[in-house]
Structure 1
Amino acid sequence: MNSYIDNYVTYLDEVKQLTPSTIDSYEADIQSFVQYAAERQVDKPQDVSRTLIGLYLASLRQQGKAASTVLRATASLHSFFQHLVRQTVIPQDPTQLLDRPKAERKPPQALTVEQVDKLLSAPDAATGHGARDKAMLELLYASGIKVSELMSLNVGDIDLGMRFMRCSVDGGKERILPISQTAAQCVGYYLDEIRDKLQKDPAEKALFLNSLGTRLTRQGFWKIIKKYGQLAEIDAQITPHTLRHSFAIHLLENGADLRSVQELLGHSALSTTGVYQSAKRSMKEVYDHYHPRS
């Protein structure tokens, strides 16, 4: 079946224009199945049955593969055999009636309150970039906004007196979010003492500026939060989304209701916010099980 796979890979590259890594993943999944089929004397697409594919996917589960891995393999095979149907190599797709395994929805990873304190204390606010970075981290944890939303903030979106900010969300909608007194103080200091020193163009409206005087990017923030995670010696993976997850879980741990957290995060569906509820519950179960005074 290698000639068919080569043809399919060419299709993914030239027609679908997928990335090389994505194409490699598709090809690896298909090659794994082809090897499984060959071991059972099946070497033609026309001889592949739904039963054979089902047995292959079952073998993956028996090997302890994650549901997400089995789901990806199913999707890869489905795409491959759909291509063969379009090429009239086979009359119908043998994966068409297969049950699709549900991907595992893992609780988001969050920092403890102590780890957040260490992270937010890591920037040296006595320096220009340190004051800017502390303002960003404090604002992110105080509001739970996405990093893309943080980067899109303009100076006019912040009202430090009333302690709220206007945040743009997907679809052009806006929501008004409260911010903590600490975050307001840090942003206020940055605006009063630092931003003008970074600004090169008087017309620049971005709240947070880089060394060139232009809007800081998501990539720039990634490097910043990674640096402070290392400085704070936090033994956990920190991504730009970590403080958003921590914000939500810490609110729930302190008694906030799920609906309020949903509104703060800007989720359209309560079920999306529910993943934080499950994360909170699992953390409590660990505490109750392992803490000597629980």
Structure 2
Amino acid sequence: MKANQEIVNGFINHLMVERGLSENTIEAYRSDIERYVKYLDNKGLNIVKADKHILRNYITELQDLSRRSLARNLSALRTFDKYLLIHKYIDRLIMEDIESPKRERILPEVLSVSQINQILELPKEQTLYGARDKAILELLYSCGLRISELVSLDFKNILGDENLVRVMGKGSKERIVPIGGPAVKAVNYYLNHSWAKLAGSKRPQALFLNRLGDRLTRQGCWFMIKKYAKDIDIKIYPHIFRHSFATHMLQNGADLRAVQEMLGHVSISTTQVYTHLNQSHLRKAYAKFHPRAISQN
């Protein structure tokens, strides 16, 4: 329905221009709201005529989603509902009495240090793409970066003399993160041996380049990691390096606040999920090594 799509387009423009949200966040909103609009279109309904009864029926059709996905959809609908009210498409909120499901606590998957080391040895650094891939994997683990943060890095973001990287995180919030020695070495090797060849006649600002000399995309980085995953019997994906970074830091005594700052978490409760992993690590160590950990029957 054309009228519905025009309202959605205005909402997306509002998120971009007035709220300045990141591209990834906007795409998540777009996906969730367009799912809702498709439901309305199939029933010949207009957004502005939707009521609580229609909305509850729609939410019922989302019950097959995980609690996490359902909560995200409801959050998007609440934001959309407020937009409709502010712009006078509706005269009252229809989401205010609808509760979000309690979010289930899902502990992140984490690799062991030996598994990380095995993965970091996979790229053949002497090759054109191997040098780039080695630098990417080292940075992901050394700094705990999100994949979107990594592919957004420019030359100016690497403060080599200070072993630091300037990262632009979610909500355009900048943070400074230390880089470990092996990661610095890998980045320097890539810059000295592969970057210019990949750039060709172009002179981009991007740190990590694809075969065309353009900035490597998130999808391109994911494809690269997936390629290496085929070589070993370990499940790997970009965010697992971030999970492993945080968990290994805490296991080795890092302060929770420091880890929060390095990860770029707004709330420390987001970082605290890694303390549960750390507690699991401690319990296993206790059960294995304490002489009276095993109950006597």
Who is 1:196 aligned against? 196
Could you tell me which of 30, 35, 58 is aligned with 1:23?
Answer: 35
Instruction: Give the SS at the match of 1:161.
Output: helix
Residues 23, 152 of structure 1: CA spacing in aligned structure 2 closer, same or farther, 3 A cutoff?
closer
Could you tell me which of 261, 272, 275 is aligned with 1:263?
Answer: 261
Question: Letter of the aligned partner of 1:23 in structure 2?
Answer: R
Alignment check: 8 A CA contact 2:32 2:76 kept: no
Aligned: 1:247 with 2:237: no
Instruction: Give the SS at the match of 2:111.
Output: coil
Who is 1:278 aligned against? 276
Instruction: Give the SS at the match of 1:23.
Output: helix
Higher Rg: 1
Alpha-carbon distance in structure 2 between the residues aligned to 1:72 and 1:175: 26
Identity within the alignment, %: 38
Who is 1:219 aligned against? 219
Residues 229, 21 of structure 1: CA spacing in aligned structure 2 closer, same or farther, 3 A cutoff?
farther
Alpha-carbon distance in structure 2 between the residues aligned to 1:74 and 1:173: 25
Task: Flag structure 2 segments of 5+ consecutive residues without an equivalent.
Answer: 10-29, 44-50
Q: In the TM superposition, what is the alpha-carbon distance from 1:20 to its structure 2 partner?
A: 9.1
Alignment check: 8 A CA contact 2:153 2:206 kept: yes
Aligned: 1:146 with 2:146: yes
Who is 2:123 aligned against? 123
Q: In the TM superposition, what is the alpha-carbon distance from 1:137 to its structure 2 partner?
A: 0.5
Residues 221, 285 of structure 1: CA spacing in aligned structure 2 closer, same or farther, 3 A cutoff?
same
Alpha-carbon distance in structure 1 between the residues aligned to 2:159 and 2:70: 49
Alpha-carbon distance in structure 2 between the residues aligned to 1:13 and 1:24: 11
User: 1:134-178 deviations in whole A, cap 9, x for unaligned?
Assistant: 011001111112212211212232233332222223454432221
Task: Flag structure 1 segments of 5+ consecutive residues without an equivalent.
Answer: 1-8, 32-45
Q: In the TM superposition, what is the alpha-carbon distance from 1:22 to its structure 2 partner?
A: 6.0
Residues 13, 200 of structure 1: CA spacing in aligned structure 2 closer, same or farther, 3 A cutoff?
same
Q: In the TM superposition, what is the alpha-carbon distance from 1:101 to its structure 2 partner?
A: 2.8
Alpha-carbon distance in structure 1 between the residues aligned to 2:75 and 2:175: 37
Alpha-carbon distance in structure 1 between the residues aligned to 2:266 and 2:258: 12
Alignment check: 8 A CA contact 1:12 1:23 kept: no
Question: Letter of the aligned partner of 1:216 in structure 2?
Answer: L
TM-score by length of 1: 0.68
Alignment check: 8 A CA contact 2:32 2:73 kept: no
Who is 1:101 aligned against? 101
Q: In the TM superposition, what is the alpha-carbon distance from 1:182 to its structure 2 partner?
A: 0.7
Alpha-carbon distance in structure 2 between the residues aligned to 1:134 and 1:239: 15
Q: In the TM superposition, what is the alpha-carbon distance from 1:189 to its structure 2 partner?
A: 1.0
Question: Letter of the aligned partner of 1:119 in structure 2?
Answer: I
Alpha-carbon distance in structure 2 between the residues aligned to 1:65 and 1:287: 36
Alignment check: 8 A CA contact 2:208 2:215 kept: yes
Aligned residues: 256
Residues 25, 108 of structure 1: CA spacing in aligned structure 2 closer, same or farther, 3 A cutoff?
farther
User: 1:73-125 deviations in whole A, cap 9, x for unaligned?
Assistant: 9889999xxx9xx999xxx97x8646543121312222221221111111111
Q: In the TM superposition, what is the alpha-carbon distance from 1:239 to its structure 2 partner?
A: 2.4
TM-score by length of 2: 0.68
Q: In the TM superposition, what is the alpha-carbon distance from 1:190 to its structure 2 partner?
A: 0.9
Residues 76, 270 of structure 1: CA spacing in aligned structure 2 closer, same or farther, 3 A cutoff?
closer
Alpha-carbon distance in structure 2 between the residues aligned to 1:136 and 1:71: 33
Alpha-carbon distance in structure 2 between the residues aligned to 1:242 and 1:77: 30
Alpha-carbon distance in structure 2 between the residues aligned to 1:246 and 1:87: 46
Matches within 5 A, 1:169-208: 169-208=169-208
Q: In the TM superposition, what is the alpha-carbon distance from 1:209 to its structure 2 partner?
A: 1.1
Question: Letter of the aligned partner of 2:142 in structure 1?
Answer: A
